[in-house]
Structure 1
Amino acid sequence: MKIVLDRPRCEGHGLCEEAAPQLMHLDDEGELVLDHEEIGEADVALANAAARVCPVAALRVI
């Protein structure tokens, strides 16, 4: 599976980082960085949680 970020849509709220800090983080400028775009079965729940909490729907898990 894969996490897809719609960068122009992301506003840097950081809720996704709180939900899945193992998979993503905000850099010093407030930009979201995906540490792992490709994810294994063990991380699917975390990735889905991060996508769910994004207030601007900038993340998708496919």
Structure 2
Amino acid sequence: MKLLLDSTRCQAYGLCQEPASALIELDEWGYARLIGTTVPEGSEQEAAEAVAACPNSALRLVK
């Protein structure tokens, strides 16, 4: 499973980072940056919560 980020949609709310801090970091302005695109086994729930938390649909999961 891969976690993808459309950085043009990110508005720096930072809501995605809390449920998935091992997958997403925030830059100095609060914009999301993926630590890696492959979601490690056992982290699927955190990735799904991060996707759901983004108010601008900047994140998505693909298989």
TM-score (norm 2): 0.90
Q: Which secondary structure state, in structure 2, belongs to the residue aligned with residue 61 of structure 1?
A: strand
Moved over 4 A (4+): none
Count of residues in Structure 1 that have an aligned counterpart in Structure 2: 62
| Bigger proportion of residues as helix | 1
Structure 2 residue 8 is matched with structure 1 residue 8: yes
Identity %: 39
Query: Per-residue deviation at 1:36?
Result: 1.9
- Where structure 1 has 5 or more consecutive residues not aligned to the other structure, the ranges are none
- Where structure 2 has 5 or more consecutive residues not aligned to the other structure, the ranges are none
CA distance in 2, matches of 1:31, 1:13: 7
TM-score (norm 1): 0.91
CA distance in 2, matches of 1:27, 1:33: 7
